[in-house]
Amino acid sequence: MLEYKQGLKIAVIGASGGIGQAFVAHLEAASAVDKIYAISRSGTDFSNPKTSNHTMDILKEDDIAAIAEAIKSDAGIDGVIVATGMLHNDGAAIAPEKSMRDINAASFEKIFAVNATAPIVVAKYFLPLLPREGKSFFAALSARVGSISDNEMGGWYAYRASKAALNMLIKNASIEFGRRYKEAVIVGLHPGTVKTDLSAPFQGNVPEHKLFTPEYAAQGMLQTLNGLTAQDTGKCFDYAGQEVPA
């Protein structure tokens, strides 16, 4: 759990999803956290007095800018968690590609928009809200399958490539903001395979001990964040605190 400072203010983007809700629940229970901004496209209704509910479409830059401006007027934040992501969409017939024959340009664009473009646009507006002094963080959900060196199975072209792109964008942001925000930690987080709608069609192939509840994954990622320092910025880490290779 986050324990490096008292009075923390944290924004959770994608707070209505399975992992996002779990992040909010853990943060609400943390004595070091004073305020949580729960942000999602569909809106949230968290009732804890620590938590304020906000609606934002992560694919609309004007929405992102407006929420960031509102938080700025409320004295900024100490951390940002982007808990959004897309692997498939039944309604739009988007699914992981088993081979190159399955590649569809429109699906590629949508998955890149959600998994790579949206998080870095959030970073554009939210990173400047972090304090210049003291530890702070920006974390976006990445995935081990975005590792180029660890890819031994192929397939899942759009999802793999979008997460690899996200990891590069995180690296870029960490270099630029690290010049001014000396203690900021800007990282990707791999939650493992979690029992959510995102992984639902693929859970049958996952051993039971490797299929995590959102609560377990969120707790592990918060513990990982707690132990990271500015020397870890620009990298990707999993729920157990292990670095994911690039």
In this structure, how many other beta carbons lie within 10 angstroms of the beta carbon of residue 145?
19
Per-residue pLDDT tens digits of the chain, which is 246 residues long: 788 889 999 999 999 999 999 999 999 999 999 999 999 999 999 999 999 999 999 999 999 999 999 999 988 899 999 999 999 886 667 889 999 999 999 999 999 999 999 999 999 999 999 999 999 999 999 999 999 999 999 999 999 999 999 999 999 999 999 999 999 999 999 999 888 766 555 655 656 666 899 999 999 999 999 999 999 999 999 999 999 999
Q: Does the domain made of 8-238 have the CATH classification 1.10.150.20?
A: no
What is the model's pLDDT at position 72?
Answer: 95
What is the model's pLDDT at position 116?
Answer: 98
Euclidean distance between CA atoms 238 and 246, whole angstroms: 13
Asked if residue 159 lies in contact with residue 111, where contact means CB atoms within 8 angstroms, the answer is: yes
What is the model's pLDDT at position 210?
Answer: 66
**What is the DSSP pairing of strand 184-190 with strand 193-194?**
unpaired
- Residue 204: exposure state from Cβ atoms within 10 A (0-12, 13-18, ≥19): exposed
Asked if residue 11 lies in contact with residue 70, where contact means CB atoms within 8 angstroms, the answer is: no
In this structure, how many other beta carbons lie within 10 angstroms of the beta carbon of residue 209?
6
What is the model's pLDDT at position 105?
Answer: 96
What is the model's pLDDT at position 163?
Answer: 98
What is the model's pLDDT at position 107?
Answer: 94
